[in-house]
Amino acid sequence: IECHKVEIFAAECPCFGETHTESQVKISNQQPLFWVDEITFPILEELRLKQNDTVKGTWHSQVLSTKCFKKLKVLELMCIPEKSTVLSYCFIQSLPNLEKLVLSDASFCQIFQSEELRDEERHALRLTRLSELRLSKLPELTRLWEKECQPIPIFCNLRILEVLECGKLKTLVPSLVSLENLTNLEVSRCHGFINLIACSTAKSLMLLERMSITDCEIIEEIVACGGDEMEGDIVFARLKYLQLSCLPSLASFCLGDHNFEFPVLRKVIVRECPKMKIFCQGDLSTPELKQVQLTEEEEKGRWEGDLKTTIKQLFEEMNAGNSEVTEVTN
C-alpha cells in the first residue's frame, strides 16, 4: 500500500501517561496512520516500512519503543534519508521474536546505539532469536556500534549475515564478537575493509557453510591476526563453498602465520585477485578439495596438487601475462 501523504506512520496512544493535547504537541499536530498500544498488532509477524523524505518518526520515538509488536518476526526498513542511529539495544528486547532484520538504502552512520546494560539485561539479549541480518546500500555506515562500547551477544543466534554496498564500513564485527551459529556470510561492494574478521571471530565460525567476498577494492586479507598470537589451528569445520572474486588488493586469506583446516571444503572460486600470492602463511588442509574454479559456471578448474600450490601458480601465470603485455606495450 502506498500512502504518499502520510507523515507519521504510528504514535503511542495518548492515554499512556499523557493527555491527548500533550500528545498532539509532540507530533506537531499531525495525525499518525495508527495510534498504537500494547495490543494494537497482537499477531503481526512481518513489517516492511519504506520511508520517503516526508515521513517522520517511524522507527524511533514511540512506535518501535512500545510493546505492540511482540510477535514480529521480520522487520524491513528501507529508504531512510536522514542520518541517524537506527536501533537501541532496548529495541532488541522489545521484539522478542524478531528473526530477520533488513536495512536498505539509508543514511545510517551506525546501527546499534550504545547503552549501559546490567548483567541481567545482557543475559536477556543473549536469548534473541535474530537469525538473519541483511544490510545493503548504506553508504554512510561506518560501524555497527561505538568502538568504546562493550559488544553484547545479540548475534549469538545469527545464521545469515549479508553486507552489500556499505562503502565506509571498516569493521564487520568487533574482535570480541562470536558468530558461532553463522552458516552464510556474504560481503560485496564494500570498499572500506582492509580485513574482514579477527582470528578470534574466525575460530568461532564452526558452523559456517558458505563464504562469499566479492568486489571489495582495498581488502588485503580475510582473517586478520594482528598482534595477539592465538594458539591452535583455525578450523572451518563445515565450510563447503568459498568465493573470492574481484578483490584487487587481496594478498592472502590470512597474512599471519596460522594453520587452517577446511575438512569439507569442496568448491573454491578465485577470480580477479591479482595480488594474491599465497592462500595462507601456515599449514593448510583441504582434503575434499580437487580444483579451484575461475568462474561460478566453470566445471573444470585448475589444480596443482593442493590449494596453496594452485594459488601460487595462478599468481605466477597472471603476473607473467602482465609482464608480457608490458613488454609488448613498451
pLDDT greater at residue 63 or residue 260: 260
Are residues 280 and 254 in contact, defined by beta-carbon separation less than 8 angstroms? Answer: yes
CA dihedral defined by 198, 204, 207, 211, rounded to 10 degrees? 0
CA distance 141 to 168: 6
Check residue 128 and report its DSSP letter: -
**Single-letter residue type at 66:** T
Nearest to 10 by CA among 40, 38, 41, 35: 35
d(CA 172, CA 213): 12
Interstrand relation of 110-113 and 132-136 (parallel, antiparallel or unpaired): unpaired
In this predicted structure, the answer to whether residue 27 has a pLDDT above a threshold of 50 is no
42-58 CB burial, b ≥16 within 10 A, e <16: eeeeebebebeeebbbb
Q: Give the separation between CA 124 and CA 89, rounded to whole angstroms.
A: 11
What pLDDT digit, counting tens, does each position of 125-164 carry?
Answer: 555 788 999 999 999 898 887 665 555 667 789 999 999 9
Mean pLDDT along residues 109-135:
70
User: Where are the extended beta strands (E) located within the chain?
Assistant: 10-12, 34-36, 46-50, 74-80, 85-88, 100-106, 110-113, 132-136, 160-164, 184-188, 195-198, 210-214, 221-224, 234-235, 241-245, 252-254, 260-261, 267-271, 284-285
User: Which residues, at least 6 apart from 304, have a Cβ–Cβ distance to it below 8 Å?
Assistant: 310, 312, 313
Least confident of 33-37, 99-103, 169-173, 209-213: 33-37
Please give the grid coordinates belonging to residue 63: 512506535
288 contacts 263 by C-beta, under 8 angstroms? yes
Mean pLDDT for the stretch of residues 325-329 = 45
Burial class (CB in 10 A: 0-12, 13-18, 19+), 160: middle
The pTM score is 0.81
* % of residues, the chain, pLDDT over 90: 45
- The pLDDT-based confidence of 43 (bands split at 50, 70, 90) is confident
pLDDT one-digit tens code per residue, 229-257: 567 789 999 999 999 999 999 999 999 88
Residue reference for cell 582473517: 223
Q: What gap in Å lies between CA 92 and CA 105, rounded to an integer?
A: 21
Q: How confident is the model at residue 96 (pLDDT cuts 50, 70, 90)?
A: confident
19: helix, coil or strand?
A: coil
On whether the CB atoms of residues 235 and 206 are closer than 8 A, the answer is yes
Residue 329 has pLDDT above 70, yes or no: no
Predicted pLDDT at 265: 98
Mean pLDDT lowest for which of 3-12, 216-225, 227-236, 246-255?
Answer: 3-12
In whole angstroms, what is the distance from residue 270 CA to residue 278 CA? Answer: 12
Cell of 143: 560501524
